[in-house]
């Protein structure tokens, strides 16, 4: 995550299996911000930077974090409008966790943590349009999260949990409000109250499913944002987990730089709301 970024930029259809060697997509490759090791210490301008599109083979932007098998299992997710999103599903089961990344990266921000989740649940991760290996689209991030949710339901998962980091946290709150009880719960890690056209603060008033919030207490203005969204959330079940320091977003659960207490809080939350 960029150190000066406040508002982080981090759709529904059948699974299309396509060999990586046969497909070329326009992808916004922002690998410099993809790692989960970045911490955040200050607020940033409200503008949203649109990455420059470059040519990349399908999946190429995410290959550095994935195993050979995971690379071979990447697929195209049909998003809102004509968006085609690079996606990956690992693990199985009736519970699916949809992972929404931060503004400065791709699904790689969740690896290798995603693998530990996949030992218990299905995990569906994807690159928002204009990030990673997904070409630019209309920027309907909540709609892209909804598409991943419907894909998981179509493939056998009956209980959907949305989990987002930073910008992804804002997006999952809006998606949860739109999807209502079609989701079992939502997890917001360091999500700003607003990002671009997304307003998590307004959406929170329509979120009645259980919601878990997490943040680093020294993470710039983000603790204020997360507390405000949590206070506005309509759900009565809205636990919070905090850590001292400026660790931000997906880094909170990263096995190397993150915190066991946050990973355990996430696991207990998912298990409690899905009765697993």
Write the pLDDT tens digit of every residue in 198-220.
Answer: 999 999 999 999 999 999 999 99
* Cβ contacts of 139-143, under 8 Å, gap ≥ 24: 139/196, 139/197, 140/11, 140/79, 140/80, 140/81, 140/83, 141/100, 141/167, 141/168, 141/171, 141/174, 141/175, 141/198, 142/171, 142/172, 142/174, 142/175, 142/178, 142/198, 143/11, 143/79, 143/80, 143/175
Taking the complete model, does pTM exceed 0.75, yes or no?
yes
pLDDT of residue 21: 33
Q: Is residue 44 part of a domain?
A: no
pLDDT of residue 57: 60
Least trusted range by pLDDT, from 3-17, 50-64, 245-259: 3-17
Q: Percent of the chain, pLDDT > 90?
A: 76
CATH number at residue 60: 3.40.50.1820
Nearest residue to 100 via CA among 215, 247, 250, 228: 250
The alpha carbon dihedral of 217, 208, 128, 198 has a sign of negative
Q: Is residue 41 part of a domain?
A: no
Least trusted range by pLDDT, from 18-32, 95-109, 179-193, 202-216: 18-32
Q: Is residue 5 part of a domain?
A: no
Hey, is 168 helix, strand or coil?
Answer: helix
Q: Rg of the chain over CA atoms, in angstroms? A: 16
Q: Is residue 7 part of a domain?
A: no
Measured from the Cβ of residue 42, the count of other Cβ atoms closer than 10 Å reads 12
Question: Span 74-100, mean pLDDT?
Answer: 96
pLDDT of residue 60: 78
Q: Indicate the pLDDT class of residue 29, thresholds 50, 70 and 90.
A: very low
Residue 230 has pLDDT above 90, yes or no: yes
Domain count, the chain: 1
Question: Span 29-40, mean pLDDT?
Answer: 32
Residue 11 has pLDDT above 70, yes or no: no
Give the domain extent around 73: 20-33+50-274
Residue 32 has pLDDT above 60, yes or no: no
């Amino acid at each position: 995550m960029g150190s000066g970024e406040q508002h982080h930029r981090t759709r529904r259809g059948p699974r299309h299996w396509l060999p990586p060697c046969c497909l070329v997509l326009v992808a916004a490759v922002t690998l410099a911000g993809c790692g989960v090791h970045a911490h955040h210490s200050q607020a940033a301008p409200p503008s949203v930077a649109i990455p420059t599109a470059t040519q990349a083979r399908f999946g190429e932007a995410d290959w550095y974090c994935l195993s050979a098998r995971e690379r071979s299992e990447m697929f195209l997710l049909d998003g809102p409008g004509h968006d085609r999103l690079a996606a990956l599903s690992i693990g199985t089961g009736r519970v699916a966790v949809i992972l929404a990344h931060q503004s400065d990266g791709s699904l790689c921000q969740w690896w290798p943590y995603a693998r530990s989740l996949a030992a218990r649940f299905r995990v569906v991760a994807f690159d928002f349009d204009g990030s990673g290996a997904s070409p630019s689209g209309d920027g309907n991030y909540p709609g892209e999260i909804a598409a991943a949710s419907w894909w998981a339901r179509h493939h056998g998962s009956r209980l959907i949990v949305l989990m987002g980091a930073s910008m992804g946290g804002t997006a999952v709150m809006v998606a949860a409000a739109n999807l209502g009880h079609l989701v079992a719960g939502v997890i917001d890690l360091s999500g700003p109250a607003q990002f671009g056209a997304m307003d998590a603060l307004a959406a929170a008033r329509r979120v009645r499913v259980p919601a878990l919030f997490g943040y680093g207490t020294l993470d710039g203005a983000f603790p204020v944002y997360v507390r405000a969204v949590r206070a506005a959330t309509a759900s009565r079940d809205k636990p919070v987990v905090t850590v001292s320091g400026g660790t931000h977003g997906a880094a909170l659960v990263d096995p190397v730089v993150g915190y066991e207490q946050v990973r355990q809080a996430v696991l207990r939350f998912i298990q409690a709301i899905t009765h697993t």
